[in-house]
Structure 1
C-alpha cells in the first residue's frame, strides 16, 4: 500500500470542517409504523406506487445488491446521479478553486474538463500518444504540489481502447494525489476492472455506470468505488436524497437480471466485431481503431460529409473529426444487427460502392 498518500492533506479544509445536512431518515434507524418526522404527505401520492416518503439517503438495498454482484462492500460504494455527480464531488472535495490543478489526458470524456471549469480548477492536459496510451514522462512533468486528481478513462472515450494496465499502476504507485479511473465501458472490455485493486491502492477511485451495458441511461445512476474513507467524504458532500425512490426501485429490479445483461454484452461484442470487419473492407475507410467498448472510432475520407449523409437518412453517429488525435474520425455506437447493417450500407452508398 502506498504510504505516501495522505487523504487528510488532500481534502479541502472547508470539507474537513463541514457538518453535513442531517435528514430525518439519517437520525432514525429501525422500523416504525407512524412517521411524523419529515413533513411528508401522510395520505400517499397520486400515483400507483406511494412516493410520499423520502428515499433511503444511502441507498443501502441497492448497495447490498451491488455487493452481491461485484463483491465490493457497501462502505466502499457511492451512488450518484450519473457518474457526473461523482466527478463534481471529486473537484469539490479535493480541489481548492483557483489554486489546485488536475491532469487530463485527451482525447477523453468531456465532463472532466467541464466540471473543472465549473469549479474553477486549473486543467493540465497531456495528450495520449499516437496509439492512444499514456505519456508517463509528460504526465510526470506536469505534476506539482497542487496536482490533486488525474483522470484516466479506460476503456477510453472516444477512442475505445483500454489503457495499458501497467502504466496506470505506475501512476497509482508514484502519484500522491487521487487517480480516477473511469470504467464506464468496462463490461465490454477484455481487461479486468480495477475494482479488484481497491485494497492495494488508497488513492484509487473507480467510476462505473448503469447507463451502458445495463441499459439504464434514463435512470441516471452512477457508481464510485474507493476506500471507505474517501466514500465517507463523498457521502458528506452529496445532497441528502440524491437518488430518488423510483430510480432505486427500478435499479433493484434490473439488478436481478444479470443473465439478460450478460447476453446483451455478448451480442454487442459480436456485433462490434462484425462492424469492424465490414467497415475495414471499405477502401475509403482509412482505419478502424481497436475497441474494448460498445463503440468504434473510424477514420475515413470526408468524415463530415459522411456524417451529414447519415443524418439525412435518420442515422445519428458522433462527429469527432475536430478532436485532437481523432482528426477525420466518426464515433459509431454498436447497435442492433439491423442498425449496424444499415449504417454500413449507407456509408457504402455515400462512397458509391
Structure 2
C-alpha cells in the first residue's frame, strides 16, 4: 500500500514556518559570535556552556549512523523517546478528529500523549500469548486512523512481537506504523531499521536510556524517512538536546564494547533469575523475555510487592494492567541485587 505523508500531515504543520535560531542561520566556525544574545564572558563552570548547542546534533547523529547503519538524515534525537512520541501526535493527528491504535498491554506514554493532544485511542488488546490481533487491528482502522503503535520487545510483557505480523501491518496500513524498540539491544530479534528503505510509513523509536545506561541524559532516537525526519525537525523546540547531553552521549557512544558486555551479562543474569524464581511456590508463570526485565505472574502480586517495599526492594506492580493481572515486572539487576531479591522472596509467606 502506497504511503503519502501529505494525506495524514496536519495542514497547520504543512504550512508551519519553523523557528529559525541563530545556529540555524549560521553554521560553521567563527572567531566572534555576536548573533545569539549569549553571555560572551562564559559560564561559571569549568566547562563553558554559554553558547547554544548544535540544534540538530550532527556529531551525535554521525556516530549513531556508524553504529546503526542508517544515514544521519534519517535520525531524529529527542528529549527521551517521549518527545518523539509527542511530536508524532502534534504533527499527524488532528485534535478531536483523528485516532490512533495501541495494542495493550503496552508502554503507557502512547495513551498519555494521545490524551494530552486530544486524540482518541482505539485499543486492540494483544492475544493471550502477547502477540498482535491482526484481525482486530484491521477492524479498528477507519478513515481517521493516523498511527499504530507497536512496542517490541514489549513493555511490560518483555516478549518480541512476531516480525511477520508487524510486516503485515506495515504493508497494509496507509498511516504511520511506530515500532518502539527501546529494549531491542537485549532481543534475539533484529531491529526494523534495515526496513526503512522498504516501508516509507515506518518510524522506529530507540533510546540511550536502557542498554547504553544513559537514562539521566534523556536522549531518545527516532529513525524514519528523510521526509518524516524533516517534520520532526520542523516541530521540535530549537535546542531540544542540551550541550552536556550531546557531549556525554558522544563520549558514551565510543564504548560500544563495554555496552555489549553489559548486554551479554544482563541476558545471562536474566536466565539465572528466571531459574531461581521458578522454584518459588507463589510464582505461577514467568513470561518469555527479550528485554532487561521479566514479567512474573504470582498468586499474590499486591502482597509480594508490599513485602518487598518494606524491605527496600522496589519492583513494578502490574496487576492492574490488562492481561497482566497478578503480575510483577522485575528489572534484571546486578548479580548481587538479583541474589538479594531471590533470598528475600524465599522468606515471603503466601
TM-score, normalised to structure 2, is 0.99
Match of 2:231, SS? helix
Q: 1:50 aligns with which of 48, 51, 61?
A: 48
Deviation at 1:283, TM superposition (A): 2.2
Q: 1:263 aligns with which of 256, 261, 286?
A: 261
Q: 2:344 aligns with which of 336, 343, 346?
A: 346
Match of 2:156, SS? coil
Match of 1:233, SS? helix
Deviation at 1:148, TM superposition (A): 0.2
Q: Count residues in correspondence.
A: 350
Distance 2:307 2:268 in 1: 26
Q: 1:34 aligns with which of 32, 36, 41?
A: 32
Determine the structure 1 residue equivalent to 2:70.
72
Determine the structure 2 residue equivalent to 1:282.
280
Q: State the Cα deviation string for residues 65-113 of structure 1 (Å, max 9, x = none).
A: 1011111101000000000000000000100000000000000000000
Could you list the runs of 4 or more consecutive aligned residues of structure 1 that deviate by over 4 angstroms after TM superposition? none
RMSD: 0.7
Deviation at 1:29, TM superposition (A): 2.0
Distance 1:31 1:339 in 2: 49
Distance 1:135 1:13 in 2: 32
Structure 2 residue 324 is matched with structure 1 residue 326: yes
Match of 1:316, SS? coil
Matches within 5 A, 1:109-258: 109-258=107-256
Determine the structure 2 residue equivalent to 1:90.
88
Q: 2:292 aligns with which of 261, 281, 294?
A: 294
Distance 1:262 1:125 in 2: 36
Distance 1:346 1:136 in 2: 42
Structure 2 residue 15 is matched with structure 1 residue 17: yes
Deviation at 1:301, TM superposition (A): 1.2
Gaps of 5+ in 2: none
Deviation at 1:277, TM superposition (A): 0.7
Q: State the Cα deviation string for residues 25-84 of structure 1 (Å, max 9, x = none).
A: 100122111000000011000000000000000000000010111111010000000000
Deviation at 1:342, TM superposition (A): 0.9
Match of 1:286, SS? strand
Distance 1:330 1:347 in 2: 13
Distance 2:349 2:342 in 1: 11
Deviation at 1:291, TM superposition (A): 0.2
Distance 1:253 1:327 in 2: 42
Structure 2 residue 335 is matched with structure 1 residue 337: yes
Greater mean alpha carbon deviation, residues 216-225 or residues 64-73: 64-73
